[in-house]
Amino acid sequence: MITVLSGGVGGAKLVHGLATVLPDPGSLTVVANTADDCEIWGLHVSPDVDTVLYTLAGLASPERGWGIEGDTWAALEMLDRYGAPTWFQIGDRDLATHLARTMWLREGQRLTEVTARLARRLGVRSTVLPMSDDPVRTVVHTPAGRLPFQEYFVRRRAADPVLGVEFDGLATARPSPEVLAALRDARVVIVAPSNPVVSIGPILALPGVREALRGTSAVRIAVTPLVQGRAIKGPAAEMLQGLGMAATPATIADLYHDFLDLFVLDVRDQSAAASIEAAHASPRHLRVVCVDTVMPDIPSRTRLARDLLERILALGVDLPIPRSVLPG
């Protein structure tokens, strides 16, 4: 019933909040970015998918934002001794995820099937879908050259100015049938507060996804990833600026306006609400609402989820959500 487009940490927090407050977490589907995927030690790593899975399974490390809480580093330390690259830190339990994924992919299963299998084994009751079964890889153009996303993001700590971003593989990649169905059949589609360029951007860039979002009967909502000109986590603001855009919620609304019904601004930015609404008054009227979108802790995830559900119900969307779930 609810489909969320998500990157890693910020999206996973909102997804966690929704899965917690929804009477049936099985009514939630997450479409996770896979353009951050990379090969480490010969293994297929899907950072955003894993962050969503681990968060929903209650395994995530809330401080780090990646990996498994309390994970150990024995394999990493030994690989360091062998001279293997260790800038992408993989804990021992996390490593098992990549081993299982890689093994099952080599057996011929689709990434969608592999992800479902991992989710089931982790006790995750919501549906987690990689955006595509085909490889799409973000490449960041910087003064130091073209960097694969994890080189830019993890190895070089997102310190390089961003001159451009491209998604290798788009020419042949397709969204999975499950993703298209999740957009078509949802009553609500939520674009999570994730990086609009490198998390949501690749999902929207897949052939047919924007069309599916424009054509769905679902109510389409986006939660701003920018609060007071900055991302809570990650380089969204710097990336937007590097690409010549202002790091403001108005930019986010512009990026999604062709399919969006409701834009969720942070209360701290509510002075921008009127101008965003005015900018998108026609041909389609974009409503703007303000809530507290910042999620520093677990209770704030459910608070935001409840606030969103209340706004969704206020739009007249038919969701079987009891009154008790809502705020107040």
Residues that bind its own copies (CB under 8 A): 41-43, 71-72, 74-79, 81-84, 91-93, 95-97, 99-100, 102-103, 106, 117-118, 121-122
Question: What sign results for the dihedral spanned by CA atoms 175, 179, 181, 186?
Answer: negative
> Measured from the CB of residue 168, what is the shortest distance to its own copies in angstroms?
21
Distances 289 to 97, 138, 249 between C-alpha atoms, Å = 39, 32, 12
> Nearer Cβ to its own copies, position 57 or 319?
57
> Measured from the CB of residue 157, what is the shortest distance to its own copies in angstroms?
24
> Nearer Cβ to its own copies, position 96 or 325?
96
> Measured from the CB of residue 292, what is the shortest distance to its own copies in angstroms?
36
Query: Based on C-alpha coordinates, what's the Rg of the chain?
Result: 19
> Measured from the CB of residue 63, what is the shortest distance to its own copies in angstroms?
19
158: left (phi over 0), alpha (psi -120 to 50) or beta: left
> Nearer Cβ to its own copies, position 92 or 134?
92
Q: Across-strand partners of 171?
A: none
> Nearer Cβ to its own copies, position 59 or 288?
59
Cβ-based neighbour number of residue 270 at 10 Å: 14
> Nearer Cβ to its own copies, position 75 or 273?
75
d(CA 267, CA 277): 15
> Measured from the CB of residue 59, what is the shortest distance to its own copies in angstroms?
10
> Measured from the CB of residue 18, what is the shortest distance to its own copies in angstroms?
25
Cβ-based neighbour number of residue 6 at 10 Å: 31
Looking only at the bridges linking them, the beta strands covering 226-227 and 230-231 are: antiparallel
DSSP 162: P
